[in-house]
Amino acid sequence: MLVRELTGGDPPLTCKVIFVDEPLRFGHRVTDGGRLVEHVLTRREDFERAVAEQAAAGFAETERSLTRRVLATADQFWIGTLDGNAVCVHSGGIRPDWNEAMGQKRSRLYRDRRRAVAAYHRAVAGKLAEGYVEQYAREVAIPDGAGEPGTKGAR
């Protein structure tokens, strides 16, 4: 499953464009007050076009979306994202009735951005070393936030 989370508009709005690579599922839209909030598509070309349309309308992809990495084995999935000074992980087993809402979600807050980025890279490298394969690989651009202050009580 591919997800692109974009923000923009006035007042600011978050929009998700989701690609589900299963022909048995269906595409749908979720709207809020006439604005598109979530758009689920079943064809990759439609997904890419919808993301381009949102970008042309002035929406920008969020950091969580830019750093989202989806890795899987035959029976396990692992999704990692970077959100400010936090590394968020969603993982679990893949079953016949599986969907991405299943599994466990964990978030770990780090003292500063540098530590969070390093932990994110270690986590991804560790999963790749365990035999996980990246689904829908793309270049991951990590915005620089080296000057962000530390968080009391974080790692």
Q: What is the pLDDT of residue 119?
A: 95
Residue 1 has pLDDT above 90, yes or no: no
Give Cβ neighbours of residue 70 (< 8 Å, ≥ 6 apart): 1, 2, 77, 78, 79, 134, 135, 136
Question: Domains, the chain, ranges and CATH?
Answer: 2-60 (no CATH), 64-135 (2.20.140.10)
Residue 141 has pLDDT above 70, yes or no: no
Beta bridge partners of 70: 79, 135
User: Residue 141: helix, strand or coil by DSSP?
Assistant: coil
What gap in Å lies between CA 84 and CA 72, rounded to an integer? 24
Which carries the bigger pLDDT value, residue 120 or residue 65? 120
Which carries the bigger pLDDT value, residue 81 or residue 46? 81
Which carries the bigger pLDDT value, residue 143 or residue 96? 96
Q: Please, how many CA atoms are within 13 Å of residue 154, restricted to the half-sphere of its CB?
A: 19
Q: What is the pLDDT of residue 49?
A: 86
Beta bridge partners of 92: 77
pTM confidence score: 0.74
Q: How many CB atoms lie within 10 A of CB 17?
A: 26
The 10s digit of each residue's pLDDT in 56-87 is: 888 888 888 889 898 989 888 899 999 999 99
Q: What is the pLDDT of residue 147?
A: 45
